[in-house]
Amino acid sequence: MWRWWWLLKTLLVLGVIQFFCLSARTQEVAYAANMPLNGSEVSLSYVDKKIKNFRSKDHQLVGLIIRRSIFENFSFRNSNLSGSKIQDSVFNGGDFIGVNFTDAFIADTQFTNCILPLHFKSEAILINVKIQNCRYQ
């Protein structure tokens, strides 16, 4: 009887130690995955990213792909986003002044507190796009 008790206790202690090790490791991985990026480097593909302070001025971003990403405090001023594909993303606080959105495909995306180009709605193909507190310039 006592042998079984000891076995059970040992297994439980091992389980608790294992839990703490795994928990710490999982948190490390999760932290690395969700860390916001500083947008100093401009790329043509952003998937599952959180980006703060993104700056892209006069960049050719034709065919840019943005999926499931969040941009906060951004500027795409005078960049060319024609033919880009933006889906399931959020843009909060920033400007798209002078951006070319010709044939850009934008779906399930939210724009808040931002400045959009005047012809945004006629240039881009918009599906389930929400625009809140944004002005056109």
Partner 1 sequence: MIFFNRHVQEIFTCKKNQIYGIFLSFSHLLTAYFWYRRDFDTDGIVCWQFFSNCQFLTRHLFSELSVDLIIYGSLSFFCMGLFFLKKEKPAYFLFLALSVFKMIVQLSDYRFMGNYHYMSNVINFVFLFLPNKKNIVKSFLVLFYVAAGLIKFNLDWFSGAALINPSIFSGRLLIFSCAYVILLELVFSIGLLSTQRKYFYFVLAQVCLFHLFSWHIVGYFYPVIMLSLISIFFLSPAEFCFPKELVNLVAIGLFIFAQGLPLVLDPHSSLTNKYRVYALNMLDADSECETRMLIKKKDSTIEYRPDFSKIAIRIHCDSVFIVKKVHATCQYFSPDPDFTDIDFDFQVRRSSERNDIEQLTYKNVCSHPLKINAVSGAAYQ
Helix (H) or strand (E) holding 24: helix 2-34
Q: What is the closest distance, in whole angstroms, from the C-beta atom of residue 1 to partner 1 in the complex?
A: 7
CA dist 78 and 60 (Å) reads: 9
Q: What is the closest distance, in whole angstroms, from the C-beta atom of residue 105 to partner 1 in the complex?
A: 8
Task: Name which of 35 and 127 has its Cβ closer to partner 1.
Answer: 127
Q: What is the closest distance, in whole angstroms, from the C-beta atom of residue 41 to partner 1 in the complex?
A: 25
- Binder among 13, 16, 44, 118 for partner 1 (CB under 8 A): 16
Asked if 67 interacts with partner 1 (CB under 8 A), we say yes
Residue 117, both tokens: 């180009």
Buried (b) or exposed (e) across 44-68, using 16+ Cβ within 10 A?
Answer: eebeebebeebbbeebebbebebbe
- Binder among 108, 112, 115, 131 for partner 1 (CB under 8 A): 108
CA dist 79 and 6 (Å) reads: 68
Q: What is the closest distance, in whole angstroms, from the C-beta atom of residue 99 to partner 1 in the complex?
A: 21
What is the torsion angle, in degrees rounded to the nearest 10, for the CA atoms of residue 21, residue 25, residue 31 and residue 34?
-130
Task: Name which of 71 and 79 has its Cβ closer to partner 1.
Answer: 71
Residues found near partner 1 in the complex (CB under 8 A): 1, 4-5, 7-8, 11-12, 14-16, 18-19, 22-23, 25-26, 67-68, 87-88, 107-108, 125, 127-128
